[in-house]
Structure 1
Amino acid sequence: MTAIHRIVVLDAAPATVQARVACVLQDASGFHVLSARTQAGHDGIGNMACLLDEILKEAQWDRPDLVVVVIGPGSFTGLRTSCSLAAGLAFGYDCPVVGVTRGEALADALSAYVTQHNLDGWLCVTAARSGRWFVESAAPDSLTSGSVVAVRQADWDAPSGHWLIAGDVVDDVLLKAPGSLKAFPIPGEAGMQEIARAGLNRLQGHIAPRPALPLYVDPPEAKLPAAGLRARPQ
């Protein structure tokens, strides 16, 4: 297989709503961010294509060799936008596109910490809407490994044993079972290098296949127009 060197990373998953794009170079010494942009809010998500154009020019790439997109769990609008952009970019440049979850992007570091500290597994818990969390687990009880579920914060119970917790709501999760949960010492989302590495591992078959499609754990939050539905066309 031809070595992968130029990797475009797209991420608009977090419910906090922000867009991240980066050009990551993979060579014999590792993964290196050559150019990157982050823009908060829905304006950032709507501006992802422009941000992408900026980083490609800054990195002086005529084309990527691989596109990696974070498929969720998270913002419905962010996932739909980033996955569509990733698919269009890969089609236009005739290169592969792969998707990774937020937990998969952190998996190497989380699994190493679990092994080092003799824990039972890890959970990546991230904010959802309406008092809910997304919970992704490496070895969840009674669930297929790698599954992602949405739970009500008030109803969620920590699994038995001793688990590592990562994600953007770690402090809130620790309140549920402070004696059995251990916080991952590196807070925040996975870096663009980690996302690129996870995507390359997926492309090369080191982790199970997963389509580069939005991971919609929750349905979209559809609302009726303020003025009501329009009349049926005559």
Structure 2
Amino acid sequence: MPILLALDASSSACSAALLRRREGVDDEVISRFELTPRAHTRRLMPMVDEVLAEAGVAPAELDAVAYGHGPGSFTGLRIAAGAAQGLAFGLDRPLLGVSTLQALALGAHLRHRYRYLVTALDARMGEIYAAAWQCFDGRVECLAEEAVLPPERLRLPEAHADHDWVGVGSGWTLWDAMPADVQAGMSLCLPDQEAAAEDMVRLAADAFEAGEGRPAAEVQPVYLRDQVAWQKSR
């Protein structure tokens, strides 16, 4: 019966969630979510305290800690990483990083039953973070790897181009720069959706049960932009 805590500060939203998993019943998830631009440092740890108190769980009872490791706001990612690593170190528990883009996809699937999703976040400087996913029965399969790219270079996975796609995340505010075939393939766009810890904690629980928890020092934010810059410099 694992108990996990997840926190996220990768966007304008700030959130925390606790999951208690019991065999044979639905996961119990307690969460907090607020749109708090520039107030993540002030709100994140109080949210953690609130979900622990509501669940009646002491920090020492946690089996693992997770956080939204990006891509997203560099400052927000560092805030969440620092808080999550501090908790994991202090409790001597494994840490798991969860993709912001994957969490966006899972959230849209769980709430609206969408199956084919392109999650995209505004990366500034005329670029987006993007990935494509297929979702089914609460599971998320990656169809196009996470990347940072100009919106005009976005493509739908060729093998699935004939499906009804849904766009999720702030990257879709750059709609006018998207290629015409991508626009034609989208049945709906939800640019105001934000990643949330309540979806991240579900992904983290699956990863934890698969043995993917790591020592806190080994789990780092995923910026994507730095990886692309490194690849170009080779």
Match of 1:19 among 14, 21, 25: 14
Pick one of 196, 205, 223 that aligns with 1:200: 205
In the comparison of the two structures, how many residue pairs are matched? 202
Superposed displacement of residue 97, structure 1: 1.5
What corresponds to 1:129 in structure 2? Answer: 124
| CA RMSD across the alignment | 3.4
Long gaps (5+) in structure 1: 115-120, 220-234
Question: Secondary structure in 2 aligned to 1:201?
Answer: helix
Deviation at 1:197, TM superposition (A): 1.5
TM-score calculated relative to the size of structure 2: 0.70
Given candidates 153, 156, 160, the residue that maps to 2:153 is: 156
Q: What's the % identity of the aligned pairs? A: 23
Which residue among 215, 219, 222 is the counterpart of 1:212?
219
Which of the residues 7, 28, 33 maps onto 1:10? Answer: 7
Contact 1:136–1:148 under 8 Å retained in 2: yes
Matched, 1:102 2:107: no
Q: Give 2:168's aligned residue.
A: 166
Higher Cα radius of gyration? 1
Corresponding residue for 1:34? 30
SS at match of 2:88: helix
Cα displacement (A) at 1:101: 0.4
Instruction: Name the SS for the 1:42 alignment partner.
Output: coil
State the match for 2:47 in structure 1.
Answer: 51
Q: Which amino acid aligns with 2:14?
A: A
What letter is aligned with 2:120? V
Distance 1:58 1:207, change over 3 A: closer
**Matched-pair contact (CA < 8 Å) for 1:35–1:58:** no
Q: Which residue identity lines up with residue 13 of structure 1 in the other structure? A: S
Following superposition, the deviation at residue 212 of structure 1 comes to 3.2
1:95 & 1:156 partners in 2: Cα distance? 41
Answer with 128-137 or 190-199: which moved more: 190-199
